[in-house]
Amino acid sequence: MGMSRDTFYRYKSAVEDGGVEALFERIRRKPNLANRVDQATEDAVIQSATDFPAYGQARTSNELRKLGVFVSPSGVRSIWLRHDLANFKNRLKALEAKVADASVGKDAIICLDCGKGFKTLKRHLNAEHDMSPAEYRARWQLSKDYPLVAPSYSKRRSATAKKIGLGRKPKAK
């Protein structure tokens, strides 16, 4: 079979003790959990990456140190890699997504071009910025389901429409 007697009996006793699974290679080393930092530090680094996307890893580390969060520049880079924020372009995309999420309020939708709040953006976009809703969504890389009407206004209009019977088929005679 091509193995020493010692190896054969070691395998035989392993099978008798633990079955066939005992023959599989065992990793004796405890796993190193990627030298993770605590969650508060990780959240602070992610927050800083979206607030200041132009900062590099050394500047981010120094700015966080001023705030009492101690993480090395390589630690900042490791966190950025885990959250796909490693380059400036990805950090800018994260900032744009954060701003887009913040622009949808309960009572108003904030125009990302001028910063003003409106119940509905469609008329404002046509009148002030001379663009269609599709062009606005493309410019800011917003999804097709991004709302252009404030949620509270939409609910109120929906309730009014249901109250007066819009959207229902006429009763059969």
Fold of 103-160: Arc Repressor Mutant, subunit A (1.10.10)
Residue pair 100/140 in contact (Cβ under 8 Å)? The answer is yes
Of all residues in the chain, the percent with pLDDT exceeding 90 is 31
Residue 62 pLDDT more than 90?
yes
Q: Which pair of tokens denotes residue 159? A: 């309730």
pTM value is: 0.56
Q: Band of the pLDDT at 31, cuts 50, 70, 90? A: low
Other C-beta atoms lying within 10 Å of the C-beta of residue 157: 13
How far is 22 from 106, CA to CA, in rounded Å? Answer: 60
Residue 63 has pLDDT above 90, yes or no: yes
pLDDT band at 33 (very low <50, low <70, confident <90, very high): low
Two tokens, residue 171: 């009763």
Domain range summary for the chain, segments of one domain joined by +: 39-96, 103-160
- Residue 67 predicted with pLDDT over 80: yes
